[in-house]
Structure 1
Amino acid sequence: MILGSTGSIGTQAIDIVLRNPGRFRVVGLAAGGGRVDLLAEQAARLGVERVAVADPERAAELARLLKERGASPDVLTGAEGVAELAGSPCDVVLNGITGALGLESTLATLRAGTTLALANKESLIIGGPLVRDLATPGQIVPVDSEHYALAQCFPYLPEGELASPAQGLVHARRDEVRRLVITASGGPFRGRKREDLAEVTPAEALDHPTWSMGPVITVNSATLVNKGLEVIEASLLFDIPFERIDVVVHPQSIVHSMVEYVDGTTLAKASPPSMMIPISYGLGAPERVPDAAPGMDWTKAQSWTFEPLDEEAFPAVRIAAEVGAEGGTAPAVYNAANEEAVDAFLGGRLAFPAIMDTVSQVVSEHQRTDRPGASTLTLDDVYAADTWARTRARELLARG
């Protein structure tokens, strides 16, 4: 099952499936609805049994396009339709939906006992304890390149020995781990000071030097919000406290993350900057998919550099660690406020540095209100916090 099939993660996953027809069969697809022509084309080509479109207003158009292509899968609509698809029988659900929309699908997949290849980091981040309470060790396979790298660098538990959910969601030992080191490319504005960022344009922010991604994730990479979200995700996946998670800037994007051990050893996972590798592992875990992407050419001279993160120009990681440590609904507020601010920036209504100014203000106001803790969090709490944060962010944006 591929959720978010028309996005960057989804289209790459389908490419892997088509190159390995004897290994994978897709039974369902879901997308938001912005590219129903592509969704219909994918469904017809793969011969899927069910298709879901999150935007109900695009359902009729999707049905027409499917009919024109001679395809007749069941069509589900709305967020509830996507979640229903996620909970239907299959071996693996790849959740590549962007944003908070992916939470219910993540929960539905876990309830069904299906392996979840998780590219939608937001669902884990805002759902936090809800996701952890449902997931069994090893049920979630991280697809973010950084978390896939961290998982590859962990020592796995002996066969048959299980970790409890309280120890983290990845089936691995962590008693010998000193810290996690997550790498960041630095985005298109690496090396710039805060005062240099006031006039940057959406086109410049979308011109990522390494990765090809959707607009929201690409802007998040430019602000380093994406890296902040990854820090929260890493803490939840591996049960490592925030003070033992570092972010370093690595412009070459060859080392995707590292795990440092108590004896001074550091294991680093290196590969070309291709999402095909973690996506293919998410689909095929625990086995690898041959030739998912070209490997490193070790016969050529190359240099790798690592730099400290400039937290004054890019405060997103620091703020994310604070809200992650707070827990409860704080991560949902951080994520929702950012999505609204990024939308305003892409629409030309907000300066680039004001994205994080907006997020910081909304987060600080949330910290002064009564809110549930992690132990009492409900799905309604998450959605209420998400709605409040979006409303408050829009109010701030309207006031300029």
Structure 2
Amino acid sequence: MCIIIQNSSRGTKTMQAIQKTKSPVNALVDSVYDRNMANFWLQKINTLWSVNQALGKIVKKEQVANDMVTLTIRCNRIFKKAQAGQHHPVLIEINGRTYERTYSLCNLDQDHVQLTVKHVDQGVVSTWLCETAQVGDVLKFGRPYGEMTLDKVQEPLVLLAAGSGITPMYSMLQALAQAKKLQNQPIHLLYWVKKKGDAAFLDIFENWAKSYANVEFQVFYTQENDADERLNSAHLDTIRHIDQATVFACGPSGFVATAEGLFDQAKYFQSEAFSLSPTVNDDVGFVNITLTKSNKVLAVAKGESILTALEQQNVKPTYGCRMGICHKCVCQKVQGSTKNLLDGAVNPEPNNQIKICVNSAQSDLVIDL
């Protein structure tokens, strides 16, 4: 509503009178003019209330395999669910410091998701989630990302997983089951773990394979007494119509690199590596990295990720997943040679973008950081 006030001594003044019904959340935000302060007071009332932050509360915690737990999480209204197979940034405060890690979540229903995490030796976040996190704890989440999704699937679907690489595969299979499409989609799931106790969701996978003739499931144990073979060409021979298939692979970088080489004839191939295991690990010596924006020159060791090397020198670049998926750490390389820690590829070309979490310096570098 617009009110015009006429005054001969001061001229014409216009006042805007806007009347609207405000929610308690908006009223509180307006009263304190500070989102952080608003969040602080809102969470005194309800730990999941926030004006801008995706939050989730742990409502159930269960052991699903050796050193692996599944957390059932109730989400707030701001939480944006991922497509099955995508990843979510998870932000956790431990001893006053915020850590960001990436996990593939499984959508359960409108309000709940599952986060399955495997304990990693010396892993700060995985240790906290597996050993310290309790029912009632609240986690923060970023926006999901990732290209390994069901909308890219051509028939048949081949899923290759090693270790905790099973989590995005489980998410996609659960999505198909919830949509009642599992019985119609030809699926071949191959899953590698070290020991029998390391296999997660085993009963679920076996039940699907028994219930649906189109679903095939195999699990391989690589460190039992009668050890199974790691991924090789013999496994490729067990898959029918590979030239018509969509192949998804997730696991350590060495596993993913092997899968990429074996399944080059697939109609569509998509992979994600969750850890770095360089194909060549004999780099020695130091090189200099010049940071153009920071006006710094730092000596770093060859063979380790640029991100890690910079963090060790108290430089804090932006990063997200730390495994080359989210693109948050991408920066411009002005000159110098780098090596991709996922596949060993060397890049000597100037003026191109690199992901500093999965590249090491092979020569003196100049990068825009």
TM-score by length of 1: 0.29
If each structure's helix is expressed as a fraction of its own residues, which one has the higher value? 1
Larger Rg: 2
Larger relative contact order (CA 8 Å, sep ≥ 6): 1
